[in-house]
Amino acid sequence: MRILRDMRYLLFAFVMLISASSFAQIGVSITVGPPALPVYEQPVCPGDGYLWTPGYWAYDSDIGDYYWVPGTWVLAPEPGFLWTPAWWGWGDGAFIFHEGFWGPHVGFYGGIAYGFGYFGVGFEGGRWDGDHFFYNRSVTNVNVTNIHNVYNTTVINNNTTVNRVSYNGGEGGITARPTAEEQAAENDRHIPPVAAQTQHVQAARANPQMRASVNQGKPAIAATAKPGEFSGHDVVAAKAAGAPYHPPAKAGAQPAANNAPHPSDASHAKDLQPHEAPPAANTGNAKLDQKNQQEQAKLIAKQNQEHQKLQQQQDKEHQKLQQQNANDAKTQQMEQRHQQQTQQMEQRHAQQQQQLQQRQQPPAEGNKRPPK
């Protein structure tokens, strides 16, 4: 257990050193590709300002299985921002997951034809005009009674058949490569999935019916009107699997270079587990070891106190918005702020732990002073 805790701190600290400007980082790599994209219809857009985020197959290394993350409508974090979907790609002998992100331009998403405006390159489902998003009714499901900022532009699909392959590269994968525009989009300012999206993924992961081994590539919840709403009349079931599903004997998850707890996994302070002190370095000096343990305990107590303080603050803000019956936009702004607060705190805590452990490391053999 102590070794695992050490690994957790080191891996988390490593993730925090990754540039905040790129949120298409690798999450996990495995040796068997994801199932085909299921066939499903898009639920009606729930309101102005919501953008479509396509469903995709994620991977749970704890159970060794893919699970479906339903497509859903999400409020854009900022006017002018578009969603670049997550995608799987073959590289270095494994399938590697690249997380989606928000930005002013749509970047590369593997050439995967997710549909509903995402046909492999860019996005044809709508466009921003100032602070208002206009929906292309030819490819998105919008009720014009409630939403008036719409237009109709026919999207020509050059493919004679619909390709439901869900990964790029490897045997049978999509062969697309980034365009110059998609490469340029990588240099934009990006925002990671908002709190509502993170909670949506967590809910899908916790639902056994979403696992590929259970639904055979045809999930009963293929899409939802809003993130995390997995029941009700706005839930859409898959019509069919995208292709016959043949589960592997053992998918064999392998950690990628930065397969660590992702900063966006914790959306609120209440989602965090209390810190536990890793074992202090064994210096061979009993008094020094005792001092190091006391320093670790002091730091952990301080960090857990900060957890509790932030949780209380966030809980109060939740209660205040509920009393005010705040709309979705205000709620999402608060959730995004809470997510950033939580990530920043954990980043600071990981750096503090790393610095303390470095100070407590015993000197190398060649640097030890000879006894007097």
Q: Per residue in 290-324, pLDDT tens?
A: 888 888 888 888 888 888 888 888 888 878 877 78
Rounded to an integer, the average pLDDT of 345-360 is: 78
pLDDT for position 152? 93
Judgement on whether residues 203 and 292 belong to the same structural domain of the protein = no
Judgement on whether residues 122 and 198 belong to the same structural domain of the protein = yes
Going 314 to 316 to 317 to 323, the CA torsion angle's sign is: positive
Structure tokens at 57: 């197959």
Q: What is the pLDDT of residues 33-73, one digit of tens each?
A: 999 999 999 999 999 999 999 999 999 988 889 999 999 99
Structurally, how many domains does the chain consist of?
Answer: 2
CB hemisphere CA count around 169 (13 angstroms): 16
Residue 13 lies inside a defined structural domain of this protein: no
Identify the domain containing residue 352 by its residue range: 267-361
Residue 218 lies inside a defined structural domain of this protein: yes
pLDDT for position 212? 95
Judgement on whether residues 77 and 198 belong to the same structural domain of the protein = yes
CA dist., res. 339 & res. 24, Å (int): 18
- List of long-range contacts for 327-332, beta carbons under 8 Å, 24+ apart: 328/47, 328/75, 328/226, 329/49, 329/75, 332/75, 332/77, 332/194, 332/195, 332/196
Residue 71 lies inside a defined structural domain of this protein: yes
Last residue within a domain, chosen from 239, 257, 275: 257
Judgement on whether residues 156 and 304 belong to the same structural domain of the protein = no
Judgement on whether residues 99 and 199 belong to the same structural domain of the protein = yes
Last residue within a domain, chosen from 198, 223, 257: 257
Cβ contacts of residue 265 below 8 Å, gap of 6+?
198, 202, 271
**Would you give the DSSP letter of residue 208?**
G
Residue 68 lies inside a defined structural domain of this protein: yes
Residue 1 lies inside a defined structural domain of this protein: no
Judgement on whether residues 272 and 325 belong to the same structural domain of the protein = yes
pLDDT for position 18? 36
Q: What is the pLDDT of residues 191-231, one digit of tens each?
A: 999 999 999 999 999 999 999 999 999 999 999 999 999 99
Residue 370 lies inside a defined structural domain of this protein: no
pLDDT for position 347? 74
